[in-house]
Amino acid sequence: MKKGCLAILAIVVVVGISLFGWVKGTYNGLVEKQEGVKSAWSQVENVYQRRADLIPNLVNTVKGYAAHEKETLEAVINARANATAVKLDASNMTEADLQRFQQAQGELSSALSRLIAVSESYPELKANENFLQLQNQLEGTENRITVERQKFNQVAQDYNTSVRKFPANIIAGIFNFDQRPYFEAQAGADKAPTVDFSK
């Protein structure tokens, strides 16, 4: 009888240790992927902040040549203020939060497009070296934004897949590992605006 109890106890201990190891490994894997999402989101915020930091210099340069374009300049300033006011926490970001963020950033992009279009009416402004450098930096920043958004979506997809897969979804449910939203194209984004910095 003692040998049977010891064997059962040994099996229970081995199963318990194995189960603990699996839970620990799954939990730590989910934490690692969740931190990857936070890191990717930080990079998205960094490139959007870089764009926001370029705007005051761009507005001031345009203001020097096109002071009577007050409405356009104010629209850019207001859109920048709205875009930088929207803050998201990657650890509990919802789809609605991300859509609100995207909308504010989209409004800023639209205002910037109008500002660049204004420059077409001012040949001296288009020839200004500072303005040209700012345009190049802005164009590079827009490319970085696209790259970082794509990276965020990839990391979020990896995390979301892990959260939903069985049996890891059990651990994810117990410890509240919720899915993260993705960046999606804005309505009408399939028709790219024409922006020509070379003129």
- Domains annotated for the chain, with CATH where assigned, are 36-174 (1.20.1440.20)
| Residue 70: band (very low, low, confident or very high) from pLDDT cuts 50, 70, 90 | confident
Q: What is the pTM of this model?
A: 0.79
Q: Which pLDDT score, from 0 to 100, does residue 7 have? A: 84
Query: From CA 65, how far away is CA 86, in angstroms rounded?
Result: 31
Query: From CA 30, how far away is CA 22, in angstroms rounded?
Result: 12
Question: Are 76 and 62 contacting, i.e. CB atoms less than 8 angstroms apart?
Answer: no
Q: Which pLDDT score, from 0 to 100, does residue 41 have? A: 93
Q: Tell whether the model's pLDDT for residue 68 goes beyond 80.
A: no
| Residue 27: band (very low, low, confident or very high) from pLDDT cuts 50, 70, 90 | very high
| Residue 43: band (very low, low, confident or very high) from pLDDT cuts 50, 70, 90 | very high
Which two tokens mark 74?
């104010």
Mean pLDDT, rounded, of the chain: 87
Which two tokens mark 34?
């969740």
| Residue 199: band (very low, low, confident or very high) from pLDDT cuts 50, 70, 90 | very low
Q: pLDDT tens for residues 122-134?
A: 888 877 888 888 8
How many H helices and E strands in the chain? 6, 0
